[in-house]
Amino acid sequence: MKFTPTEIPEVIIIEPNVFGDSRGYFLESFNQKEFEENIGAVNFVQDNESKSSRGVLRGLHFQNPPFNQAKLVRCIEGIVLDVAVDIRKGSPTYKKYVSVLLTGDNKRQLFVPRGFAHGFVVLSESACFAYKVDNWYAPEHDSGIAWNDIEVGVDWQIAEELIQLSGKDALLNPLSEIENPFYYEEAIV
């Protein structure tokens, strides 16, 4: 596996070794030893999967402590633009974001540490998206920021009129209007 830091060094692109032949392909999507050697100790406790159609935007989500989560995300089929926003107060990259195309073909994964809001939009006709989290889902700690927060300014690479949001995501506020418990000094893994 190849581990590549992004413009926000704590957010890491992971590219697995893919072995293909006339029968198809094989890849190792996760290896605890390699992960710990390149990123650190993370104990993933839950795997999630979603299928969405073109224009579906899920995010920008995070969970508040003590149920904050790190995520390891990938697109199994289709194409998504995946986004991680630094919401750690005091961070040199506060309110900055990283966006990465994750596709069924490129097999890339993205590690999103604690202290980041996460979201993705589907750019293909449909997409199957899977991710690991290192803490349990806790609805009472569920939170997020508006997908179109002007101060963050994510370029979603899709026309706004094509974006489809859940009712909950449509009601999310900008980062400046929410109670934000994340600080740069805290451990992110």
Q: Which residues are catalytic?
A: 61, 131
Consecutive H or E run containing 83: strand 79-86
Query: Do residues 51 and 128 lie in contact, with contact meaning Cβ atoms separated by under 8 Å?
Result: yes
In 3D space, the residue among 61, 51, 42 whose CA is nearest the CA of residue 132 turns out to be 42
- Report the distance separating Cα 175 and Cα 38, nearest Å: 30
Residue type for position 7: E
- Report the distance separating Cα 57 and Cα 188, nearest Å: 25
Q: What share of the chain is helix, strand, coil (3-state, %, to 5)?
A: 10, 40, 50
